[in-house]
Every structure is written in structure tokens, then in C-alpha cells.
Amino acid sequence: MHFQFYNDYSETAHPACMAALAHEPTQQLAGYGLDDVSAQAADAIRAVCKSPKAAVHFVSGGTQANLTMLAAMLRPFEAIIAAQTGHIYSNETGAIEATGHKIIAMPATQGKLTPASIEAAVAAHPWEHTVRARVVFISQATELGTVYSLAELRALRACCDTHGLYLYMDGARLGAALMSHDADWDLADIAALADVFYIGGTKNGAVLGEAIVIVHPDLQVDFRYHLKQRGALLAKGRVVGSQFLALFSNDLFQSLAAHANACAERLQNGLLAMGVAFETLSSTNLIFPTLPNHAVEQLQQRYGFHIWKKVSDTHQTIRLVTSWATPMDKVDDFLNDTRLALAEGNS
């Protein structure tokens, strides 16, 4: 089978995550997330976030985290502001709308939402004939692999405060963002700036699971009711809890993301050196090179990856994703094969 750069959830799990799950498999634990393993994992997350009063809940996936939490934050007529490239708008099959809420999608630059676009969204929704904006949704890293800087996050926070908006961060790839060269913040900064965020485990070495961190006290109330109602309350909370306990021991969360980023960086730099153009330059584990059609076709013979978009009759942008498990020699193979393919096209 071809080596795949499709995504960062192609492999099951890092051995340490698997071992955590397999530890004492017949030990009896409390159900529905009230077990000791989940409690310890929540403590570990609160510690790394320096947010001792945060509520931490574990769910099985990102769309579930988004729809359960966002619906819990809104009254029926309230809406979410997101980038047009935002996952909830472009890639979740109307999961948010299915809970009754509109997403106000704004044009984004390199996947990022700006205070100016938030203000434009608020201004366009001034009265009872329109929804009212209530939550700002951002992804960190973004769906284009870019990362909000601390200054950008502070500006978004200030804008939210001015307009009475909650700030929600989708952290499906928060690990990759954290280990990016562009990250001048840590998880404690995130917890200080966002009202709610989630830390992605599925895409960073866990068997499965995301940790929702609710910082704002108003949003902590009754959240277990929302989890249960949306089918997100796992009978065996430990299954996800154990994953996060492993990830936040010995800096595993950080080291796995750092490896994925290093693979992507080597890919991106290697391609740049060949003169390849990019949709946007990424500092995380997703990269978006634009290649001639013939090169794309040739690479598809040996690798799996998504076509991101057709750029012209002769070129396409592809998406390459690396993971905690990507072997560096596969990166080098891909670079060599690309070099050959490009050379062939030019001959």
C-alpha cells in the first residue's frame, strides 16, 4: 500500500497511549467520566494550563466537541462567527446548524479570523431581524496549518470583550500549533485568553479523544447534561482519560507534535528549495504545495494525499499531512520522488 500523507489519524496510537489504555483492564472504575483516571487526567491538564478552576471533559471526537460545547454556549437566536475555512463551517455536515444555530462565515486570510472581520460580522447583525453574534470560533492551528500569535490572540480577546462575545478555540491540532516556530505562547496563555478550548488527542497520538477545557465559570454549569444529551458522554470515561494522562506525562503531547511538525517542515523546506510554490506557508504539520499536474499524477502512484484545489489548467495544490508516526525516510523519499517528477516534466 502507498505511504499516506492523507492525515494525522492514519495510525492507531502511540505505544504509551496504548499502554495507558491497557493498564489494569479489569480494574473496576466509575462510569460516565467520573472515574479516577479521568480525574487525574483533568488535573494534569489544569496544571499544564495553569487554570486550577477550569472544568475538563473528555469526548471521543472533534465534531462532537464542537457541536456539544457550542450549542451549550448559545441561546436559540445566537450565532457563531467563524472563518469561511473554519472546520465547523466547511467540514462538519451542518453539525452546528443541526443544533439550531447559524454560523456567520467571514472571509479569512491564511485561515485566520481578524478583529476587523469580527466587527464587520457584529455590525451586520444589529437587531431582532438578524441573529445575534455570541461566540467567536477559531482553530489553532488553523485548517491551513497556520498559527495565531500571542498578539493576534490578545487582539481577538479584546475584540470579544468589547462586543460581549465568547472566544472558543478548536484545538484539534493544538499540539502542532504549540510546537510551531510561530507559537510565542503556551497552554497557560490559551487558557487565559479563551473561554473554552479543546485539546486534540486523536490527531496527536491518542487512540481517540479530545479534552474540552471550559475556563469561563458560567459555561461550566450543567455541562454534563449537554454531553449526555448529545451522545457525547462515554460510559467508560477512562478510555479517553487514560490517553490524556499519557499525553501529559513526560511531555509526550509536545514531543509527538514536534515530530509531526519536523516532518512537515522538512517537506516544506525541501519543496521550497525546488522552487515549488505554496498556497500558504505552514509552521505545523499540514502543508499545501502547488505542483504541476504530471508531478501530482506521478506522486499519486506512490503516495496517498488529498488534492486541495485546482489552481490552473496545469497546476494543483495538494495537502500533505504528517503525524507523530511519520518516518523521516518517507519524507525524504517523497522529496526525492518529487524532484524526479519535476525534472521529468521539464525535460
Site for a second copy in 175-204 (CB under 8 A): 202-203
Please state the closest distance from residue 187 (CB atom) to a second copy, in A: 22
Question: Closest by alpha carbon to 276, among 289, 288, 293, 263?
Answer: 289
Specify which residues 55 forms β-bridges with: 214
Question: Which grid coordinates are listed for 170?
Answer: 478548536
Q: Which is nearer to a second copy, 20 or 342 (CB)?
A: 20
Helix (H, G, I), strand (E, B) or coil at 138: strand
Out of 238, 244, 246, 267, name the contact with a second copy by CB under 8 A. Answer: 238
Minimum distance from CB of 196 to a second copy (Å)? 16
Task: Specify the stretch interacting with a second copy by CB under 8 A; choose among 174-182, 221-229, 264-272, 285-293.
Answer: 221-229
User: In which element (H, E) is residue 32 found?
Assistant: none
Q: Per-residue string for binding with a second copy, 317-336, x by CB under 8 A? A: --------x-----------
26 scored as a contact of a second copy (CB under 8 A): yes
Where does this chain touch a second copy (CB under 8 A) — which range of 38-46, 173-181, 191-199, 226-234?
226-234
Query: According to CB under 8 A, which residues from 254 to 313 bind a second copy?
Result: none
The nearer residue to a second copy, 56 or 183, going by C-beta atoms, is 56
Q: Smaller CB distance to a second copy: residue 223 or 278?
A: 223
Amino acid at 140: Q
Nearer to a second copy, 192 or 308 (CB): 308
Of 152 and 279, nearer to a second copy (C-beta) is: 279
β-pairing verdict for 78-83 and 103-106: parallel
Sign of the CA dihedral 8, 10, 15, 20? positive
Whole-angstrom distance, CA of residue 138 vs CA of residue 113: 7
Q: Is 126 in the site for a second copy (CB under 8 A)?
A: no
Residue from 91, 162, 250, 269 in contact with a second copy (CB under 8 A)? 91
Question: Alpha-carbon distance 136 to 145, whole Å?
Answer: 19
Locus of grid cell 477559531: 138
Give least dist CB 139 to a second copy, A.
Answer: 15
278 three-class SS: strand
Least separation in angstroms between CB 166 and a second copy: 15
Q: What is the DSSP string of 209-220?
A: -EEEEE-SHHHH
In the complex, least distance from residue 154 CB atom to a second copy, rounded to whole angstroms: 29
C-alpha cell at 306: 488529498
Sole binder of a second copy in the list 109, 217, 231, 332 (CB under 8 A): 231
Reduced to 3 states, what is the DSSP secondary structure of residue 150? helix
Is residue 79 within 8 A of residue 132, CB to CB? The reply is yes
**Least Cβ distance, residue 255 to a second copy (angstroms):** 16
Calpha distance 337→256 (Å, rounded):
26
Residue type, 325: A
Distance, in Å, from the CA atom of 139 to the CA atom of 171, rounded to the nearest integer, reads: 6
Please give the single-letter amino acid code of residue 95. A
**Among 81, 82, 101, 167, which residue sits at the site for a second copy (rule: CB under 8 A)?**
101
Closest separation in Å from C-beta 156 to a second copy? 23
Identity of the residue numbered 183: A
Output the smallest distance, CB 71 to a second copy, in A.
Answer: 6
Please identify which residue in the block is written with the cell numbers 496517498. 304
Kindly tell me which of 79 and 341 has the beta carbon lying closer to a second copy.
79
| Residue with Cβ nearer a second copy (106 or 183) | 106
- 95 or 258, CB closer to a second copy? 95
Residue type at 247 in one-letter notation: L
* 163 lies in the site for a second copy, by CB under 8 A: no
